Homo-oligomer: A and B are copies of this chain.
Amino acid sequence: MAERVEMPLWGWGYADHARQLSALAESQLYERLGLSDAASSPAAISDFVISPSRLSEGQIDRLARVVGGSCVSHDPAMRLLRSVGKSYPDLVRMRSGGAVMLPDAVVLPSSSEQVHELLRVCVAESIAVVPFGGGTSVVGGVDPLLGSHSAVISLDLGSMVGLSNIDVNSRIATFLPGTNGPQVEELLNPQGLTLGHFPQSFEFATVGGFVATRSAGQASTGYGRIDKNVVGLELVAPTGVTAFKAMPGSAAGPDLRQLLVGSEGTLGVITEASLSVAKLPDVTDDRGWFVKSFAAGRALLQDLEQAGCAPAVSRLSDEQETEVSLLMAGGGKLQSALSGYLRLRRVQGGCLMITGFEGSRQSVEAQLRAALPIIHRHGAVAVGHGIGRAWRKGRYSGPYLRDVLMGRGLLVDTLETAAPWSDLERLYNSVGSALRENLASFGGDPIVMCHVSHLYQSGASLYFTWIGRQSGVTAEEQIANWQKVKSAAGDGIVAGGGTITHHHAIGHDHAAWMESEVGSQGLALLRAAKSELDPAGIMNPGKLLP
């Protein structure tokens, strides 16, 4: 099975997948936002203040007795690697060096029993526990916060990898929590199966993380969000093991699986998840289209979804994202070729839509037979399979590009939300203005772009990417600037009728909006669940709950 790869401290991805800006993108970003000439050098390990571990020798000994001495690490590099996810503030801190919050040890259990035993030790010793899967959180989900405890460990699930069971006939695969995206597909594909879960973090994120954060992937319109795919799971909490066997449907009271899915490590550690998986598609038919406006494209996607024939991948960029994508991807040549073609077909400006139909040959033909008349009726202009395939090829490249832009001194982040179809226009405007106004306060001509990423009968999600000037010099100033924009955008989501997060989860960064999301009674229910499973409050302090 593919080995786990460590990402760089200060950024994203496989070392050999680094991206570069096209000359055209460089010049435009320079004009609009004053992109710096050369990339700044991120801090090296020696640039950090490595605080001594707060764990006593006795405590380390107790932890080591559970997992073995070699599975309790104090190595500064390892503690640094497990001290952050990949949010903008995380990366600012890691680029800057200096004093940062660190877990006092990184502990690698190899079984559910070891996890249980570790939690017992941590309760007894008042040690906070931060479960760590792929470390891809963009919302501060793995920040090593102490809460009211004396020390904090990173509980690294990287040794609990693989299938613990597979029922090919029922299409149910039970995974250990540390299994990452590529490993999932490597285990399923030879059986003719796929999870169909391809978030942008796919290369690193894990099953435990998918389930703990209620994630969605780029093909979730077809294969379903992870919460729809969870049919069973096991969670080890300080007070014991909660396990629900795989079941297709039940009316036996509230669905407690859905109380654990999305619990973000605050109730316990997900040690196993049984997922409903799908047949590996024989055919993937990717296409690019142009529609005349973002609103027209949304109406098109709504019709497709409500007619029951939306493709597995259904994406629509707004005008700004369309322009930037063409700029970033092919540079000027592709853009002008496309513009020429589209002028010919009398669509100007316009928005790029990507459709990815997947399935058996017969099923894809049937889907196309149903979908194409709707697509054409809305006046979409086909721009070929090439642009669709290019999208698929570059589908995980966003976070790589972020590193480039951060290195050149820009403020860059993404956020996502969802709402019923009728509220999308209002939500789009509300979040867009909040982002543009606040980014503009730092000078330059900020870029705020958006795409529709997931479709539902009742609504859709909106995914925003925003790039502005970073006027801050120190890490603190840079994070304060980010926080200003982030706060305004979160308020804009609430004002626009959206959910504070469609698939990035709450973590630390969205916790302030949880009350507007679920109300005081909802918070009380979450706190009641936490008191029951984690009365000592050791599990992932400072996340999910405000």
- Give the Cβ gap from A265 to chain B, nearest Cβ, in Å: 12
A525 at interface (Cβ–Cβ under 8 A)? Answer: yes
Contacts of A258 in B (CB 8 A): 254-255, 258-259
Decide: A213 near B248, CB < 8 A? Known: A231-B458, A306-B171, A458-B276: no
The answer to whether B518 and A529 touch across the interface, beta carbons within 8 angstroms, is: no
Contact with B along A189-201 (1 / 0, CB 8 A): 0000000000000
Contacts of A167 in B (CB 8 A): 420-422
Q: Which of A243, A247, A276, A544 has the most CB of B within 10 A?
A: A247
Binding site secondary structure of chain A: mixed
A376 at interface (Cβ–Cβ under 8 A)? Answer: no
Report the stretch among A19-27, A54-62, A361-369 that lies at the interface.
A361-369
The answer to whether A216 and B256 touch across the interface, beta carbons within 8 angstroms, is: no
Q: Which of A171, A262, A264, A279 has the most CB of B within 10 A?
A: A171
A239 at interface (Cβ–Cβ under 8 A)? Answer: yes
Report the stretch among A438-446, A465-473, A494-502 that lies at the interface.
A494-502
Contact with B along A259-285 (1 / 0, CB 8 A): 111111000000000001011000000
A227 to B503, CA, bound (A): 20
Report the stretch among A41-49, A314-322, A504-512 that lies at the interface.
A504-512
A225 at interface (Cβ–Cβ under 8 A)? Answer: yes
A263 to B499, CA, bound (A): 24
A460 at interface (Cβ–Cβ under 8 A)? Answer: yes
A252 at interface (Cβ–Cβ under 8 A)? Answer: yes
A532 to B258, CA, bound (A): 18
Contact with B along A419-462 (1 / 0, CB 8 A): 11111000000000000000000000000000000101111110
Contacts of A256 in B (CB 8 A): 259, 518, 522, 525-526
A370 to B420, CA, bound (A): 31
The answer to whether B253 and A526 touch across the interface, beta carbons within 8 angstroms, is: yes
The answer to whether B510 and A252 touch across the interface, beta carbons within 8 angstroms, is: yes
Contacts of A363 in B (CB 8 A): 307-308, 370
Contact count band on A:
35 or more
Decide: A251 near B458, CB < 8 A? Known: A240-B520, A521-B241, A531-B528: no
In the complex, which of the residues B241, B247, B255, B510 contacts A419, with contact meaning CB atoms closer than 8 Å? Answer: B247
A254 to B517, CA, bound (A): 12
A525 to B267, CA, bound (A): 11
Contacts of A240 in B (CB 8 A): 520-521
Determine the residue in chain B with the shortest Cβ distance to A505.
B251
Determine the residue in chain B with the shortest Cβ distance to A522.
B256
Determine the residue in chain B with the shortest Cβ distance to A456.
B248
Contact with B along A325-366 (1 / 0, CB 8 A): 000000000000000000000000000000000011011001
In the complex, which of the residues B242, B259, B522, B533 contacts A519, with contact meaning CB atoms closer than 8 Å? Answer: B242
Determine the residue in chain B with the shortest Cβ distance to A521.
B242
The answer to whether A248 and B518 touch across the interface, beta carbons within 8 angstroms, is: no
A70 at interface (Cβ–Cβ under 8 A)? Answer: no
A154 at interface (Cβ–Cβ under 8 A)? Answer: no
The answer to whether A252 and B506 touch across the interface, beta carbons within 8 angstroms, is: yes
- Give the Cβ gap from A493 to chain B, nearest Cβ, in Å: 11
8 extra A-B contacts, CB within 8 A, seeds A254-B258, A254-B260: A170-B420, A171-B457, A243-B519, A250-B418, A251-B503, A253-B506, A253-B544, A255-B259
